[in-house]
Amino acid sequence: MRFTKREKNSIHVFDLADPSVVSNLAHDLREAKECGYTEIEIKFVEIKSVFPNCAAPIAALIDFEKGRGVTFNLMDGSQYVESLRLDSTKPVCDAVPANVLNTVWYFSEGHNLNEFTKVLRQEITERLRFAEGVLWGLDWALYEVADNVLMHSSSGKGFIMAQVHPNAVPPRIVVCIADQGIGLRLSLQASYPNKIRDDRTAIGWALMKGVTRDKLIGQGNGLWGLREIVAKNRGRLVVGSGDEVLSLDAASVQAEGLSFQKRQFLTWQNPGTTIDFQLIADHPLDIKKTLQFPNTINTGFQYNSLLDDRDRFTILVAEGPGTGTRFAGERLRQKCQNALAEGAAAILIDFAGVGVATSSFSDEFIGKLVVEMGFVEYANRIQLINTDSLISSVIQRAVSQRLFANLTGTDILLEDQ
């Protein structure tokens, strides 16, 4: 099934949820250029959803063709596709809180991923509760894959998009990184000329431990480590390079004997590589065991600069998503639980600058946090500071109602619910 249709220099795109659309678009662009067109119109027709494994490679494809003299006019009836910035990606250094997900960003040698990763973590920890080790695994994977793009693809530029799927079963985070580089085959053939025969072989070798283009600049742990993380987390990994695509999940972590799918690519000299992975939010991950780290390696709380001298993590409620809705309360509760799971000894919840907090917000945030942690652990590890008398009263009532409902098995009824 095709998800695009070309009429002269106009290409209609009917889907951004099936990665086959990338190959379809690459094929149509190649045909249009062969017909002499250098001005291309792309029309997105009734797009219902967008996934990173479509958006990031398409952004890479459009940027690549722009560099070869092609101009694009993207047309979309809604503003949904427009927000992706497929033809006007911004650098990761421009990322700001609450504006990272569902948008394609680019990175290059001049852009540090550290700030982007911190902003991404801030956003996703308010949307999903992560089991121990998952956030560390995500950070490690982002840095390693991005480094592979910059060090081995010879393109010096990569494109990244992330989403959270809180309603999926199980809930997960989805990330796709795409480049316009020389691909795994050309990258590895210089070091393994007698081993790397084609794109299929190259993908299989790239997933092995210790395989790298140049031992002087890499140790070959990137894709192997990502494969191990995905396998132990029961997630999913899809690697596409050249004209081959390999999908791996927890049941199939070895490349040998698996069936590959074909895909279109940019050019023979720049076939590009796409790394698409999913991590299960609530499935714990033993990073030291998974990546065979020595016990002396610290894989605890990622941003130690955010902890005080007593290893306490502070949440500034006034800088959060608000204090009036259950949605806001759920996000802050998730953030608390994620910080504790990552190694924070305690949490300071600072209400400085907050003028009002509703009962629904207080129940969703504090009331449910008390129930989830248990009263004793909550009392030992959570401290509310800078609450005025009115907010304190609202929180106390919400907590008492939540505890009563939990003990009696009755429904909770709040005034502003």
DSSP string, 136-151: HHHHHHHHHHHHHHHH
Contact 76, 45 (CB under 8 A): no
**239 and 275 in contact (C-beta within 8 Å)?**
yes
pLDDT at 31: 94
**Strand pairing of 157-165 and 273-280?**
unpaired
**pLDDT (0 to 100) of residue 42:** 96
Reference 90, options 66, 116, 128; nearest CA is: 116
74: β partners: 42
Residue 209 carries which side chain, given as an amino acid letter?
K
CATH of domain 304-408: 3.30.750
Buried b (16+ CB within 10 A) or exposed e, 153-169: bbbebbbbbbbbbeeee
From residue 390, give the alpha-carbon distance in Å to each of 209, 385, 399, 412: 58, 13, 14, 21
Element (H, E) at 75: strand 71-76
Q: Degrees (nearest 5) of the Cα angle 18, 24, 27?
A: 160
Half-sphere exposure of 281 (CA within 13 A, CB side): 24
Task: Please check whether residue 226 is in contact with residue 141, taking contact to mean a CB–CB distance below 8 angstroms.
Answer: yes
327/364 Cα distance (integer angstroms): 8
Q: Where are the domains of the chain?
A: 1-83, 89-300, 304-408
The token pair at 344 is 């924070």
One digit per residue, the tens of pLDDT, for the chain of length 417 reads 899 999 999 999 999 999 999 999 999 999 999 999 999 999 999 898 999 999 999 999 999 999 999 999 998 866 678 888 898 888 888 877 667 999 999 988 756 677 788 789 888 988 899 998 899 889 888 888 887 787 777 887 899 999 999 999 999 999 999 999 899 998 888 788 888 888 989 998 888 887 765 544 445 567 888 999 999 999 999 999 988 999 887 666 544 456 667 776 667 678 889 999 999 999 999 887 887 765 544 444 444 446 677 788 899 999 888 888 888 899 899 999 988 888 889 999 999 999 888 888 899 999 999 999 999 999 999 999 999 988 998 899 889 988 888 888 766 555 444
CATH of domain 89-300: 3.30.565
Is-contact 344 313, C-beta < 8 A?
yes
Q: Which CATH number fits domain 1-83: 2.70.170.10, 3.40.50.300, 3.40.630.30, 3.30.750.24?
A: 3.30.750.24
Do residues 324 and 359 lie in contact, with contact meaning Cβ atoms separated by under 8 Å?
no
Tokens found for residue 27: 């094929």
1-83 against 89-300: fold identical: no
Amino acid at 413: L
Identity of residue 286: D
